[in-house]
Structure 1
Amino acid sequence: MRPEIAVLDIQGQFRVHTEFYRADAAEKTIIMVNGSLATTASFAQTVRNLHPQFNVVLYDQPYAGKSKPHNLNHAPLTKETEGQILLELIDHFNAEHIMSFSWGGAPALVALAHRPKRIEKAVISSFSPVINEPMRDYLTRGQQYLGAFDRFEVGALINSTIGKHLPSLFKRFNYRHVSSLDLHEYAQMHHHINHVLEATTQKQLTAAKRINVPVMFMNGEWDEYTSAQDARLFQNHVRDCHFTTIKEAGHFLDMEHKAACAESQSALLGFLAAPAEPRGDRYRQAQTHHALAI
């Protein structure tokens, strides 16, 4: 399964590495939005879960992965800029669906609030509008280590907190990846953390009211950092929202064990394949409960 590779020019400002997994029989295309410090490799399992039922688009943010060499990366990007990049990619690939992971939920919600015409459904995984105590502790320590460019402490912090339910092999990969990034990438995540700590829950929920497509929020049962309970705050703000909790899974969902992977796939395909109401009728909230996962 080889993707079609392209580096796209985004409004003359950024160059973005993209990977398009085409499926001849697929009728819809879904675009994936990475978490902070992540690259297209982070969605390897999710691609297997969605392809060939869907065409799948992966991309690296301008500051990360295979996009890095094509950009100057003089200053961190805001979630609004990342949201605009996503909107451009939606148009380029004619995508009908969005799926985000962790921090990727922030630019995904920004893009959805602009009501892109082609988008029919979205999946926001491992994200919540609340900075609870475990998340605040994680972010505060991350802010300290990133500010000091302490590579090894950053890697250890991720594995002992949001990544604590990952298999040991994935933890080693995570550690190698996170502890070997360029300085501008640590500065970017430091910027992300500062934004998250300064943001208010109400501001995020107010923006969510503009979303006019069905959204499924997926969270792990064991994820204390972006908990399923906290994600449910979106139910009074997103007009058509659905909630799925993946059993015995933490923050990294389908990467943690086979059962979580299978249940994540079932939830994704079930939600995306279900007929969507015409947009003009999306004024009632819908909730579904599945026993099913930065």
Structure 2
Amino acid sequence: MSVEKLVLPLPGGLKVHVEHHCFDPSFETVLLVNGALATTASFGQTIRYLGERLNALCFDLPYAGQSRQHNACDYALTKDDEIDILMHLADRFRPAYLLSVSWGGVASLFALARGCASVRRAAIASFSPFLNAAMTDYVTRARDHIAAGQNLQAAQLLNDTVGRHLPRIMKLYNYRYLTRLPRDEQDQVAFHVDQILAMKPERYLDEFRRIGCDVKFVNGDLDEYTTAADVRRLGDYVRRAEFATIRGAGHFLDLEGRVQQEQMRTVLCDFFCGERETYTPHACIANSSKPQRLPFEVPALS
């Protein structure tokens, strides 16, 4: 297996650190999309087990991880910017599959609705656009802690809520990462949460009807924040939607234990590599008119 690392310039002037994990030149490629606060490092286990059948492409957003050193810190990355980055990566590398986790599902679904013609199947893990009381409480408190520079409290909150089912070592990694988060990255995360809270599903869900590829939503049965029941409501909007539930898993799915990881490996490999109906890229654009920008007002950066 070889890993190609590059710094990719974007049309808007920013740059992203990209890693292409090539296990076999004959394999097709899956594009991996992080959630909030995560970097390429969080996909280590996922890349290993998907490498049995697929090559993997992952990246850090401009303000995070190994991309951060290549960009100035005086900008706020909007959700529309994230969508544009995904579409640029998809156009450049032509991945056959996409896997997003947590809040990476927002940009992924919009990108699939607006383009990404090479993507035949997409797995959207631990995501729901319907913010229930538990998720609203968590992201609001996390935003407030991070905006105030209270990284210790933010780390403890993460491990006590969405991360409660993680093993001890993963909770320690979360603690170390969040307590060392730079000030400009704290501001970007607070800004990101404000955007999420401002988005109203009823104002954008119809755009998902334009997604033409197969989409599998994967959630843990112990996840109180993006529940398997809530996400099934997306079946009314995503035409080729499927659903899978990982038993004994919370929000972080394959990071929570070997049993959960084996279930995820089976679900993803069967979905991405199993025989299916032929995909027609033209079907992914039901309306060829230029998409509107996301339907919310961007708040001021904290």
Task: Give the count of matched residue pairs.
Answer: 283
User: How many angstroms does 1:282 deviate by?
Assistant: 8.4
Return the letter of the residue paired with 1:249: A
Query: Are 1:236 and 2:236 matched, yes or no?
Result: yes
Query: Could you list the per-position Cα deviations for residues 112-131 of structure 1 after superposition, in whole angstroms to 9, with x for gaps in the alignment?
Result: 11132211111110000111
Match of 1:42 in 2: 42
Aligned ranges 1:16-95 → 2 under 5 Å: 16-24=16-24, 26-95=26-95
Return the letter of the residue paired with 1:78: T
TM-score, normalised with respect to structure 2? 0.90
Query: Are 1:115 and 2:115 matched, yes or no?
Result: yes
Match of 1:165 in 2: 165
User: How many angstroms does 1:110 deviate by?
Assistant: 1.6
Query: Could you list the per-position Cα deviations for residues 118-170 of structure 1 after superposition, in whole angstroms to 9, with x for gaps in the alignment?
Result: 11111110000111011111012112112212111111111111100000000
Distance 1:228 1:12 in 2: 37
Match of 1:278 in 2: 279
Return the letter of the residue paired with 1:153: Q
Match of 1:189 in 2: 189
Aligned-residue Cα RMSD (Å) equals 1.6
Match of 1:124 in 2: 124
State the SS of the aligned residue for 2:184: helix
Match of 2:291 in 1: none
Match of 2:198 in 1: 198
State the SS of the aligned residue for 1:98: strand
Contact 1:129 1:233 survives alignment (8 Å): no
Return the letter of the residue paired with 1:212: G
Query: Are 1:101 and 2:101 matched, yes or no?
Result: yes
User: How many angstroms does 1:235 deviate by?
Assistant: 0.3
Change (3 A) 1:2 1:25: closer
Contact 1:10 1:85 survives alignment (8 Å): yes
Unaligned residue ranges in structure 2 (runs of 5+)? 286-302
Aligned ranges 1:114-153 → 2 under 5 Å: 114-153=114-153
Distance 1:93 1:46 in 2: 19
Change (3 A) 1:52 1:83: same
Contact 2:33 2:108 survives alignment (8 Å): yes
Distance 2:283 2:173 in 1: 45
State the SS of the aligned residue for 1:277: coil
State the SS of the aligned residue for 1:209: helix
Q: Percent of pairs identical after alignment?
A: 38
Return the letter of the residue paired with 1:185: E
User: How many angstroms does 1:215 deviate by?
Assistant: 0.4
User: How many angstroms does 1:281 deviate by?
Assistant: 7.4
State the SS of the aligned residue for 1:3: strand
Distance 1:107 1:157 in 2: 25
Distance 1:25 1:18 in 2: 18
Contact 1:115 1:212 survives alignment (8 Å): no
State the SS of the aligned residue for 2:177: helix
TM-score, normalised with respect to structure 1? 0.92
Unaligned residue ranges in structure 1 (runs of 5+)? 284-294
State the SS of the aligned residue for 2:226: coil
Match of 2:255 in 1: 255
Query: Are 1:179 and 2:184 matched, yes or no?
Result: no
Distance 2:193 2:284 in 1: 34
Change (3 A) 1:57 1:282: closer
Change (3 A) 1:91 1:282: closer
Change (3 A) 1:10 1:120: same
Match of 1:288 in 2: none
Contact 2:212 2:283 survives alignment (8 Å): no
